[in-house]
Structure 1
């Protein structure tokens, strides 16, 4: 493309120089020839005047007297009746420019100039015109190269940007080139890069969230299936199978929620639900794991609470907190429900070492983990809580106390609820 720009610019310049150069040569040639003819004629008129003046005064007409009145390279012939012809200069050979003037006393003056002198002047003028044309062409070449470089370098840069986008590197470059059209293309590419970056980030985040959110219900489901394999009691098998089917339904709900959020993260499915049912369900699901670890999981606090949110998301948040306590905590894990203002709160605590002091609230950030885990669990749990207007907070670091705050249907909870604790401990 650079060569095409240079060639097209030079072609335009050459056409312009050819048109105007030829016209200038023609005009200058005619001007020089006309000037030479006028100059010869003017000298002839001047000589006639001097000849008449000397004849009127009775003075002699000689070549020496009149030689100073004629240009050096010109020839003059003065013919006066009754006198010998007077010649000034050398008669030129070949083609000449001549002018003949007759005086009032019968004298005749002829002035001649060789056309070669005029041709030489025309040649010098042509050389000057050619030199100017050469300088114009040289300047055009320099400007064409600079302009081609100015245009092709941004295009090459934009092509590299587009190639980077196609190869999966969506970082915008934010380069501008001072050319409106190219800057417009750069704006579009940068905007596309930002959109692609957001899409890739969303896809990666969806994949990470999906792997983590699916792991917890799959773990719970595998524990139920393991319970089935370890018992021969038909009633126990039936009970565990029923619970496993419920977990499959919740797993399907997690998948559906992930797909919905990937299409439109703003879409919510908050409803009024029985918070006790969700807490009870999580205790039942995690009881076998705690029983196997020789630990207990208990609940206490206000009962018969109705909260506003997505039941599946709330269950996922509680499952994450319970699983973290199982993996990183120690002793009894307690779930306590209470009311604060217009919010229902579920607190999860254990007797373990808690959150390291250097982490603090950063424990909810992605990839931040104090015990060699993925660091996604609490971050995903906080996102799930905030999706329906709730929030997840760390109230105390040691022993750890995590609290899930949900909007509450204050007028719909049953007044017969109490603070009577219920526990599910490992069998002795």
Structure 2
């Protein structure tokens, strides 16, 4: 691109110089020859004024000193040279001047001016002045050489300016190209910077917006994959263990095993639906959200997780305030958030786990607490990938996203002991 910009600028400068220099060269030539003819004519008129009276009186002719280098001669009516220098007898131009008047000609490599001398309406002689045109051409050529030098200097300056402007124009585009290549190579953090050129800055801003949206889309898809795998792993493991246990026990009741497997599969279906709803939450789709009383969901979570904690020698306590139990809440989101909080308490907490459902300003609030203390930075406990155990640091981040998608809020409200509080809105009728 730099070479193209330089070429365009140089061609434009050349065209401008030619359009300017060609007429100027013609004007220089015309002007120099016109000045030379003017000087010759002044010499001729000065000589005519001096010798006219001499010729009329029949006196010897004495020419004044010439102001110009050239041939100055005085001729009688018969074209004989009386004084000075010049062709003898007079040439055709001298004869024409005697017959018609002042003659100004450029012929035979000379500039000639012939002025007739007259008295009482009678021609008594001719003054002829001539100069070699090569002297004028020398001056013209030197002037043209100076003009050509000035044109070369102007062209050189134009090339320097063009190269500088080419760098100024191409550098932002090259930077934009490198940023695009970095994005193509997988670096989605690469962003184009501004350069002060409005058009290029507009392209850079458009590219940054495109990369930002692409990054958000890829991040959304990646989060969906990790959320789905995280939420499906535990119920799938429970379903697999239940079926394997039923097969391993010959006297096991298959109907009970099937009923438990059916319940686990329904839980899987609800999990999938909630993860999909979370993935669609940023697209503006307004799916209807089923609701259930908050107390039922807390009791359901207690039934599912009581055995797991009991096998580890830990207790699970549930406290439901009378005014909070009947309050309706988003069923699937609340179920998934409680599952994540109880998993987090089992994996990273210790001692008794307590679930408290209470009413706060007409809306339900759920506290999940254990007797441990968080080992991660409380300010980053909800950041994706932050974990102090064998997990991947997805659960709490997912729970917060589920709460926000449902119009609620999840926060770490205490560190001694560890307490997470879920605030849920009451769905509108």
Q: TM-score range by the shorter chain?
A: 0.7 to 0.9
User: 2:2 & 2:201 partners in 1: Cα distance?
Assistant: 19
Q: CA deviation at 1:43?
A: 1.0
- d(CA) in 1 for partners of 2:364, 2:14: 85
* Change over 3 Å in CA distance of 1:320–1:219 after alignment to 2: farther
1:272 aligns with 291
Kindly report which structure 2 residues correspond to 1:168-247, keeping only aligned pairs within 5 A, or say none: 168-171=186-189, 173-229=191-247, 231-235=249-253, 237-247=254-264
1:142 counterpart = 2:147: no
Structure 1 residues 6-45: aligned runs within 5 Å: 6-45=6-45
Kindly indicate whether the alpha-carbon contact (under 8 Å) linking 2:363 and 2:425 is maintained by their aligned counterparts in 1: yes
TM-score (norm 2): 0.81
Partner of 1:159: 177
Aligned pair in 2 of structure 1 residues 346, 243: CA closer, same or farther (>3 Å)? farther
1:229 and 1:166 mapped to 2: Cα distance?
52
Correspondence for 1:282 among 301, 305, 312: 301
Partner of 1:87: 84
Among 101, 113, 123, the residue aligned to 1:99:
113
Cα offset, 1:198, TM superposition: 2.1
* Cα distance, 1:44–1:147 mapped onto 2, change above 3 Å: same
1:249-328 alignment runs, 5 A limit: 249-265=266-282, 267=286, 269-302=288-321, 305-328=325-348
Q: How many residues align?
A: 402
Aligned with 2:327: secondary structure? strand
Unmatched 5+ stretches in structure 1:
410-428
SS of 1:43 mapped into structure 2: helix
How far did residue 29 of structure 1 move?
1.9
Distance 1:101 1:401, change over 3 A: closer
Higher relative contact order (CA 8 A, sep 6+): 1
Alpha-carbon distance between aligned partners in 1 of 2:393 and 2:235, rounded to the nearest angstrom: 18
Contact kept, 8 Å, 1:97 with 1:114, in 2: the verdict is: yes
Contact 2:246/2:252 (8 A) holds in 1: no
Change (3 A) 1:57 1:171: farther
Question: Shift of the alpha carbon at 1:407?
Answer: 4.0
CA distance in 2, matches of 1:361, 1:138: 63
Q: Which runs of 5+ in 2 are unaligned?
A: 89-106
- 2:291 alignment partner, SS class: strand
Counterpart of 2:103? none
8 Å contact from structure 1 (residues 391, 405) kept in 2: yes
Aligned partners of 2:51 and 2:62 also within 8 Å? no
